[in-house]
């Protein structure tokens, strides 16, 4: 193939030919395809580049040719007692997923000098003996036949996933032995071909591999996959090497895999080192049952109490759980495989570590009390440090009042501080999402979507009724506050501007933790934007009519003076309110949360708060109309009851709904809030009381002003007639050119 392209780091225009040697019928000797990418430009051309060699593993249309040798090699394997077997269907389902991954290698004592022979000699390009075996691609047939590619590395990184590098890669094939419960393989080294378009890159198949799966695992021996690599050659033959063992660093098998069992061996240390304490629990809390496996699987943030700047993550993966009938019906035996990511303070890179834990879970108190074991270095043969105590308190399922308590706990060493393996206590924290919470939150999201759609529909109806009203009563249009209409219009325009891309582009980086609706949320989000745009356009039309009505009244220019005074007074009130409320908010919310909580941006920023404060201004949208009526003394029925009462109730409803949501739903799922979004208004305890009362008060004042006059609250002696009143047409001739009375 011939093509062209650009280089990543320069502006060069590259032209190249790609040649690939790809056999149609493949077996272990021809499973590695090779090729070249060559420049079509002359060596003197600046676009010229050196040839690039290619090696890849081709698993399609594979034929097994090494089965006899694989069967003969199993006689050299010592088979331990108690291995886990697979049925034919299970082998194909489980083996590729289970054995793919990374395995630390364990050499014999005489390999330290590097004289272990191929494929682990210094000629493999690594310079030293590899420390990890990595299985990139594993394929299994119906009858249990398996073929794969293998590579070796000095690190556990998968940066070169699926790569084949001559000197430190193997290709292998074999079968699942139903009788001995072994995976037996024969492997061949991947070599550097002399001609990438002709020669085979696979060497002689003289390497044997076995994989074994213990049926019982313990905290001291958590590896559920073990095996060895050995040379099939005679001891005196060139290229012979002694066997190399490997074991997985943690539990890879599912706890539901048929036949797999866990043996608890640390109950005595658990009883002597930690106890189940209720802590600050009142006794009314409900916690996950031991059968709720997914509720007992969680991720945590990890912090060293003396190194606050260093953060790590920890995952308690799917546990083994069984009933502890000898102690109490509330106790469950639990064991975990734990993956711990530690940030290296020198390099800034994450280091993955594995350890295991076992103990008891009290479903009445939501507490874990466990003993942990960790390897003291990367070698699986190194003695384990099991002098570790893990205590965890789950958050209750049924308490949402106030700030939700986090899943919290500690990991501490029981060793003396002088011990070289002692470590400072580690603090755990997480917002655990329970399965029941997820289901309720999905129902809540659907309900909130309906509430938003109904609210926007009613807003459009109320605005339409106001438009029909002013078309029939054009004389009241100049009495409508332009400031009020601008505020309400901006309340719909700003969300449209901030989320305009959601109408046309599906967001790929949604942060909501509950997006399991198969695109329903995205569809409804577009519908919400469309309804918001309709409400905005209707408000804009009403604003246009009010503006035109004020401008067209030659004899009522005093209304623009009253409007400007209304605007300035509202601006002063809103600015003062923003400064005062921000000061109170900042004082009452500092410090708001711990720095390692689930949401890293929970400390409220000024702009976020101002956006919420703007939402509260829209809630009190009637204030400019009240002020305008007072200044102008207007008695015009400018607003219909459907408009100012209906929209007021719609603006009040979110503040009545928020306390209900806080009592019945998990509060840490704020990213999934659709109705009464905290970013669109102030929904604090005080705000949920003050704003509804104030909004309803404004609606009552409008009702009274349109019947008793704008100045009805002001004592008569303080009133000043500063407005203009229309005089009936009868008798206007006697006043000549004057159509109005001061």
- Domains of the chain, by residue range, sit at 65-247, 264-432, 437-726
What ranges in 300-375 are assigned the alpha helix state H? none
pLDDT at 436: 78
The closest alpha carbon to 459, from 707, 660, 634, 642, belongs to 642
The fraction of the chain above a pLDDT of 70, given in percent, is 74
Q: Is the CB of residue 175 less than 8 Å from the CB of residue 184?
A: yes
Q: Is the CB of residue 399 less than 8 Å from the CB of residue 366?
A: no
**Measured between alpha carbons, how far is 693 from 150 in angstroms, rounded to an integer?**
71
**Measured between alpha carbons, how far is 413 from 388 in angstroms, rounded to an integer?**
5
- Across the range 471-476, mean pLDDT stands at 87
pLDDT at 503: 43
Write the burial class of residue 24 (CB in 10 Å: 0-12 exposed, 13-18 middle, 19+ buried).
exposed
pLDDT at 271: 72
- Across the range 150-169, mean pLDDT stands at 73
Whether the per-residue pLDDT at 499 is higher than 80: the answer is no
pLDDT at 2: 93
pLDDT in tens, 82-99: 888 777 666 777 778 788
pLDDT at 263: 85
- Across the range 681-688, mean pLDDT stands at 76
Whether the per-residue pLDDT at 223 is higher than 90: the answer is no
Both tokens of 722, joined, read 């500063």
Whether the per-residue pLDDT at 524 is higher than 60: the answer is yes
Residues in the chain: 742
Q: Is the CB of residue 429 less than 8 Å from the CB of residue 308?
A: no
Q: Is the CB of residue 479 less than 8 Å from the CB of residue 547?
A: no
pLDDT at 602: 42
**Measured between alpha carbons, how far is 175 from 70 in angstroms, rounded to an integer?**
8
- Across the range 309-323, mean pLDDT stands at 67
Q: pLDDT higher for 10 or 84?
A: 84
**Measured between alpha carbons, how far is 188 from 141 in angstroms, rounded to an integer?**
20
Whether the per-residue pLDDT at 722 is higher than 50: the answer is no
Q: Is the CB of residue 145 less than 8 Å from the CB of residue 189?
A: no
- Across the range 488-508, mean pLDDT stands at 64
Using CA atoms in the order 8, 9, 13, 14, what is the torsion angle rounded to 10 degrees? -60
pLDDT at 147: 93
pLDDT at 404: 55
Whether the per-residue pLDDT at 273 is higher than 90: the answer is no
Rounded to whole angstroms, the maximal C-alpha distance in the chain is: 134
pLDDT at 312: 63
For 619-728, strand residue ranges (E) read 725-726
3-state SS assignment for residue 437 = helix
- Across the range 590-613, mean pLDDT stands at 51
pLDDT in tens, 420-447: 888 888 888 876 677 777 788 888 888 8
Write the burial class of residue 206 (CB in 10 Å: 0-12 exposed, 13-18 middle, 19+ buried).
buried
Write the burial class of residue 405 (CB in 10 Å: 0-12 exposed, 13-18 middle, 19+ buried).
middle
Q: Are strands 216-217 and 261-262 parallel, antiparallel or unpaired?
A: parallel
Whether the per-residue pLDDT at 164 is higher than 70: the answer is yes
Using CA atoms in the order 129, 133, 136, 141, what is the torsion angle rounded to 10 degrees? 130
Q: pLDDT higher for 611 or 57?
A: 57
Write the burial class of residue 9 (CB in 10 Å: 0-12 exposed, 13-18 middle, 19+ buried).
exposed
Comparing 181-185, 207-211, 247-251, 390-394, the range with the smallest average pLDDT is: 247-251
Q: pLDDT higher for 225 or 724?
A: 225
- Across the range 132-143, mean pLDDT stands at 85
Whether the per-residue pLDDT at 124 is higher than 90: the answer is no
pLDDT at 105: 85
The most confident of the ranges 397-401, 497-501, 516-520, 599-603 is 397-401
Q: Is the CB of residue 528 less than 8 Å from the CB of residue 456?
A: yes
Residue 733, CA atoms < 13 Å, CB-side half-sphere: 1
Phi/psi zone of residue 86: left (φ > 0), alpha (ψ -120 to 50 degrees), beta?
A: beta
- Other residues' Cβ atoms within 10 Å of the Cβ of residue 442: 16
**Measured between alpha carbons, how far is 553 from 643 in angstroms, rounded to an integer?**
24
pLDDT at 594: 40
pLDDT at 737: 45
pLDDT at 597: 38
Q: Which helix (H) or strand (E) holds 134?
A: strand 132-140
CATH (residue range 264-432):
2.40.128
**Measured between alpha carbons, how far is 174 from 138 in angstroms, rounded to an integer?**
11
Q: Which helix (H) or strand (E) holds 603?
A: none
- Across the range 18-28, mean pLDDT stands at 86
pLDDT at 165: 82
The most confident of the ranges 240-244, 274-278, 380-384 is 240-244
For 325-435, strand residue ranges (E) read 331-343, 350-362, 367-375, 384-393, 407-413, 426-430
Phi/psi zone of residue 714: left (φ > 0), alpha (ψ -120 to 50 degrees), beta?
A: beta
pLDDT at 507: 43
pLDDT at 457: 92
pLDDT at 465: 93
- Across the range 713-727, mean pLDDT stands at 57
**Measured between alpha carbons, how far is 462 from 469 in angstroms, rounded to an integer?**
11
pLDDT at 607: 63
Which residue has 């886990």 as its token pair?
84
Both tokens of 491, joined, read 């309340």
Q: pLDDT higher for 231 or 687?
A: 231
The closest alpha carbon to 439, from 664, 164, 168, belongs to 664
pLDDT at 117: 55
**Measured between alpha carbons, how far is 683 from 598 in angstroms, rounded to an integer?**
21
Whether the per-residue pLDDT at 726 is higher than 60: the answer is no
Q: Is the CB of residue 343 less than 8 Å from the CB of residue 364?
A: no
The closest alpha carbon to 142, from 97, 177, 90, belongs to 90
- Across the range 315-342, mean pLDDT stands at 75
Annotate 504-518 with b (16+ C-beta within 10 A) or e (fewer).
eeeeeeeebbbbeee
- Across the range 336-361, mean pLDDT stands at 72
pLDDT in tens, 558-596: 778 888 888 899 889 888 887 877 776 666 554 443 433
Whether the per-residue pLDDT at 616 is higher than 50: the answer is yes
**Measured between alpha carbons, how far is 308 from 740 in angstroms, rounded to an integer?**
76
Mean predicted lDDT score pLDDT of the chain: 77
The closest alpha carbon to 176, from 167, 185, 168, belongs to 185
**Measured between alpha carbons, how far is 407 from 409 in angstroms, rounded to an integer?**
7
Comparing 113-117, 504-508, 529-533, the range with the smallest average pLDDT is: 504-508
pLDDT in tens, 634-684: 888 889 999 999 999 998 998 888 888 877 776 656 667 778 877 677 777
Interaxial angle between packed helices 558-588 and 623-632, expressed in degrees from 0 to 180 and rounded to the nearest 10: 140
Tell me which DSSP letter residue 595 carries: T
Whether the per-residue pLDDT at 628 is higher than 60: the answer is yes
Comparing 95-99, 103-107, 268-272, 707-711, the range with the smallest average pLDDT is: 268-272
Which residue has 């308590």 as its token pair?
405
Q: pLDDT higher for 563 or 350?
A: 563
**Measured between alpha carbons, how far is 35 from 56 in angstroms, rounded to an integer?**
9
Of the pLDDT bands very low, low, confident and very high (cuts 50, 70, 90), residue 161 is: low
């Amino acid at each position: 193939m011939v093509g062209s392209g650009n280089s990543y780091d320069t502006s060069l225009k590259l032209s190249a030919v790609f040649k690939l040697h790809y056999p149609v019928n493949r077996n272990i000797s021809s499973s590695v395809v090779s090729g070249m990418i060559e420049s079509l430009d002359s060596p003197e051309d600046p676009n010229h580049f050196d040839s690039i060699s290619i090696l890849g593993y081709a698993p399609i249309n594979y034929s097994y040719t090494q089965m006899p040798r694989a069967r003969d090699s199993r006689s050299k394997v010592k088979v331990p007692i108690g291995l886990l077997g697979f049925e034919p269907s299970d082998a194909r389902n489980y083996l590729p997923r289970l054995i793919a991954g990374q395995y630390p290698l364990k050499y014999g004592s005489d390999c330290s000098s590097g004289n272990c022979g191929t494929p682990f000699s210094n000629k493999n390009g690594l310079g030293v003996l590899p420390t990890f075996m990595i299985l990139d691609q594993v394929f299994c047939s119906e009858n249990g036949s398996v073929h794969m590619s293998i590579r070796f590395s000095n690190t556990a990184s998968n940066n070169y996933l699926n790569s084949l590098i001559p000197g430190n890669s193997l290709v292998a094939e074999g079968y699942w032995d139903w009788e001995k419960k072994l995976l037996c393989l024969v492997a061949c080294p991947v070599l550097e071909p002399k001609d990438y378009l002709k020669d085979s890159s696979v060497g002689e198949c003289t390497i044997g591999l076995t994989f074994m799966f213990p049926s019982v695992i313990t905290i001291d021996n958590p590896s559920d996959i073990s095996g060895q690599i050995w040379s099939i050659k005679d001891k005196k033959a060139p290229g012979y090497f002694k066997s190399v063992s490997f074991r997985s660093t943690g539990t890879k098998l599912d706890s539901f895999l048929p036949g797999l069992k866990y043996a608890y061996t640390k109950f005595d240390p658990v009883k002597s080192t930690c106890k189940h304490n209720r802590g600050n629990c009142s006794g009314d809390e409900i916690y996950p049952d031991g059968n709720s496996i997914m509720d007992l699987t969680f991720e945590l943030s990890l912090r060293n109490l003396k190194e606050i700047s260093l953060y790590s993550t920890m995952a308690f993966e799917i546990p083994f759980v069984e009933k502890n009938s000898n102690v109490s019906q509330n106790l469950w035996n639990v064991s975990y495989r734990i993956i711990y990511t530690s940030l290296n303070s020198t390099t800034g890179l994450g280091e993955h570590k594995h350890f295991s834990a076992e103990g008891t879970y009290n479903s009445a108190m939501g507490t874990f009390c466990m003993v942990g074991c960790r390897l003291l270095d990367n070698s699986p043969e190194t003695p384990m440090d099991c002098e570790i105590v893990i205590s965890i308190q789950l958050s209750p399922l049924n308490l949402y009042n106030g700030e939700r308590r986090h899943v919290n706990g500690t990991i501490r060493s029981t060793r003396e501080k002088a011990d070289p393996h002692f470590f400072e206590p580690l603090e755990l924290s997480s917002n655990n999402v329970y399965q029941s919470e997820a289901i309720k939150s999905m129902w809540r999201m659907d309900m909130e979507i309906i509430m938003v759609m109904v609210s926007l529909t009613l807003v459009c109806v109320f605005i339409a009724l106001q438009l029909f009203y002013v078309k029939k009563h054009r004389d009241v249009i100049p009495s409508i506050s332009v400031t009020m209409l601008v505020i309400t219009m901006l309340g719909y325009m700003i969300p449209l501007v901030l989320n305009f891309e959601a109408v046309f582009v599906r967001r790929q980086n949604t942060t909501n933790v509950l997006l399991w609706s198969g695109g329903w949320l995205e569809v409804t989000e577009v519908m919400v934007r469309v309804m918001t745009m309709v409400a905005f356009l209707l408000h804009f039309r009403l604003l246009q009519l009010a503006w035109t009505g004020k401008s067209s009244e030659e004899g009522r220019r005093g209304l623009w003076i009253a409007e400007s005074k209304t605007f300035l007074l509202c601006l002063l009130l809103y600015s003062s309110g923003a400064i005062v409320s921000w000061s109170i908010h900042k004082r009452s919310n500092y410090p708001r949360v711990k720095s390692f909580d689930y949401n890293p941006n929970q400390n409220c920023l000024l702009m976020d708060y101002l956006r919420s404060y703007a939402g509260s201004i829209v809630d009190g949208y009637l204030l400019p109309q009240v002020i305008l009526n007072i200044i102008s003394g207007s008695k015009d029925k400018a607003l219909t009851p459907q408009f100012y009462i209906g929209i007021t109730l719609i603006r009040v409803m979110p503040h009545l709904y928020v306390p209900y949501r806080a009592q019945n739903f998990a509060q840490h799922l704020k990213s999934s809030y659709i109705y009464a979004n905290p970013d669109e208004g102030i929904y604090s305890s005080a705000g949920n009381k003050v704003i509804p009362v104030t909004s309803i008060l404004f609606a009552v004042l409008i009702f009274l002003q349109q019947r008793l006059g704008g100045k009805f609250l002001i004592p008569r002696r303080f009133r000043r007639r500063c407005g203009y009143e229309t005089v009936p047409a009868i008798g206007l001739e006697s006043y000549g050119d004057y159509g109005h009375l001061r």
